[in-house]
Amino acid sequence: MKQFFITFFANLAALLFVLGGPLLLFIILIIASFSISSPTKHTILIGRDSILVFDLSLNVTDAPEHATSTNSLSAALSGNQNRSVTLHHLTTALEHAATDKRIQALFLEGSFQPADFGTGYACLKELRTAILTFKKAGKPVYAYMEAPTTRDYYVMSTASKIYMNPYGEMEVPGLASVKMYYTGLLQKYGIDVQVTRVGKYKSAVEPFILNKMSDADREETQKLLKDLWGEFVTTVSQSRNIDAGAFQQLVDTEGYILPESAKTAGLVDKLSYFGDVLNDLGAVAPSSDFATIPLPFKQVAMGDYINATQPSSWHNTDKVVAVLYLEGEIVDGDGELTNIGGDRFAAELRRLRKDDKVKTVVLRVNSPGGSAFASEVIQNEIIALKAKKPVIVSMGNYAASGGYWVSTYSDRIFAEPNTLTGSIGVFGLFMNVQKLGNSFGITWDSAKTGNYADFETISRPKTPEELQIAQARVDDLYAKFLQKVSTSRKIPIESLELIAQGRVWSGEEALRLKLVDEIGGLDRAISYAATRAKLGTELNKDYRVEEYPQQLSFADTLTQLLSNEQQPTSKMKADPLTEQYLKMKNDLKALQGFNDPLGMYARMPLGWEIK
């Protein structure tokens, strides 16, 4: 009945919103009252010898949903049914399931739905590790595939037995990064772009000044893809006990691998339809004595298992390991829920520093960078926090440029082999619309009291003298960035200059170059932080984990909902034209975050979407 009312009022609210109805706010409050007054959890019965079912058809994020979106209210009004789950909740649930006598096996099916900064290869590396730990406990892992992507197979290759639909295919052609360039479009409409930058590989500005990859960008991108793909091939080959060279040859020969070829190569174990897989699992875990309406096999869904196994037993201690999620673009000011506002996160860090219950802080960084000014605001608070309690960084899919800036002064940095990090460089980007305006008969004129009083105008190109000033500012900031990394990481400037230059490195290479300290995921970073703060061992924990930013109040959520203009993202795979539109939209959205007060940015290149 509750669901009926929520659906009814959500649909009615959407209709009144379109019509401009004055009752919209009242109806939203009604929806909220149902959500708040009714319990969100239901009793979950987990039978003995159950199979834990993990449907991969979701987006695996770092930050909890309530920290990055208006979730329930927004979804109710938009009809957006996209699902997401946090990596930490997944790995914690799998860790618990490994020793849970009620769980005898794990079943993987479905296909990931990546969005924004979620479901990257570093994130999936941590998920793989958790599944392998479950498997090492002596519990089998089963997987069913229809048309698995590279991401899907990266995780499913951990399975003890892999089923594949006889009419499916493996979409594992290798990794690629296809970047979009806007120079021709900007020139066509009379928009001129000028840049200042430091670093041979600082290519974030190139989509706006070139029409193809520069030699340096191509070199960097090819090396990164080679590192990430090498890790994929090695890891998958080890999991499936096959020859890495033979696997690579199959990929190069077929690209999209047909079922028979996949079985012959040892990539899958059995070609079966889904119904046949259910019958096999039914033999493993019969369900006839378990439910009123028999299920194909005795099972519990991953989402239900996560809700049923929250570590409430840790809540009897007042010692806290705080995990602060820094996910998204780094922008000046408070920012929005989907990015890292320098002022907002500085305030979070101050609160954690003053909270006596918080004994140590783990910063989970998943960011390509952004505003250099905002990065410095955050870093300054991290240094103050570190003076009082240990600060550990866990790098996610991205921790580059500004993302590395905020990480470098921590006590220890963890990264996965396929984390993208480094990109120590700075750039400035200036656009003007003089040609565009002139084409419509618009002209500009000015009076000023100083040579550079109208420096910020977009009505004309920057003069050579102005560009010299901008370049001097970029050079100065780059020197400061180098000095910060040199001091915090104890790397001589001369050595650092050779590995900086705006170049992005894989986590494996970053470890070799001493930009990070250890290969490992979020769970490893939390365990290390607890040990560093003397909060007990892994087997005898005397702490609880709390995640920040914490959940918004209803009033704040309502404000965000009414002020945001977020569009629902389709769960269906977009057609090629729509994919290009969404890619352009994401690139241009990144430009909206270019709000550094000095116009200088520490950001990795745009368009780093690896397929």
Cα–Cα distance between 394 and 399 in angstroms, integer? 9
Q: Specify the DSSP class assigned to residue 154.
A: H
Residues in the chain: 611
Cβ partners under 8 Å of residue 351, min gap 6: none
Q: Give me 249's structure tokens.
A: 């040859």
Q: Which of 7, 12, 40 is nearest to 26 (CA)?
A: 12
Q: 421 in helix, strand or coil?
A: strand
69, 239, 375, 401: the catalytic one is 401
Cα–Cα distance between 304 and 255 in angstroms, integer? 37
Cβ partners under 8 Å of residue 73, min gap 6: 28, 31, 32, 35, 557, 558, 561
Q: Which of 311, 315, 298, 300 is nearest to 96 (CA)?
A: 311
Q: Specify the DSSP class assigned to residue 170.
A: E
Beta carbons within 10 angstroms of residue 210's beta carbon = 15
Cα–Cα distance between 396 and 443 in angstroms, integer? 48
Q: Specify the DSSP class assigned to residue 599.
A: S
Cα–Cα distance between 359 and 357 in angstroms, integer? 6
Looking only at Cα atoms, what is the longest distance across the chain? Answer: 87
Cα–Cα distance between 199 and 363 in angstroms, integer? 27
Helices (H), 309-463: 342-354, 372-386, 402-405, 434-439
Q: Give me 389's structure tokens.
A: 């309690």
Cβ partners under 8 Å of residue 156, min gap 6: 56, 108, 143, 145, 148, 162
Cα–Cα distance between 20 and 18 in angstroms, integer? 5
CA distances from 357 to 234, 314, 350, 361, 475 (A): 43, 14, 14, 11, 42
CA distances from 567 to 69, 81, 609 (A): 12, 12, 20
Q: Are the CB atoms for 422 and 511 separated by under 8 Å?
A: no
Residue with tokens 């921790």: 399
CA distances from 120 to 51, 59, 266, 405 (A): 27, 10, 25, 21
Q: Are the CB atoms for 308 and 46 separated by under 8 Å?
A: yes
Cα–Cα distance between 546 and 534 in angstroms, integer? 17
125, 179, 202, 319: the catalytic one is 202
Cα–Cα distance between 183 and 180 in angstroms, integer? 10
Backbone angles phi, psi at 369, to 5 degrees: 100, -160
Q: Are the CB atoms for 375 and 407 separated by under 8 Å?
A: no
Q: Are the CB atoms for 32 and 558 separated by under 8 Å?
A: yes
Q: Is 573 designated active site? A: no
Q: Is 212 designated active site? A: no
Q: Are the CB atoms for 211 and 181 separated by under 8 Å?
A: yes
Report the catalytic residues.
202, 401
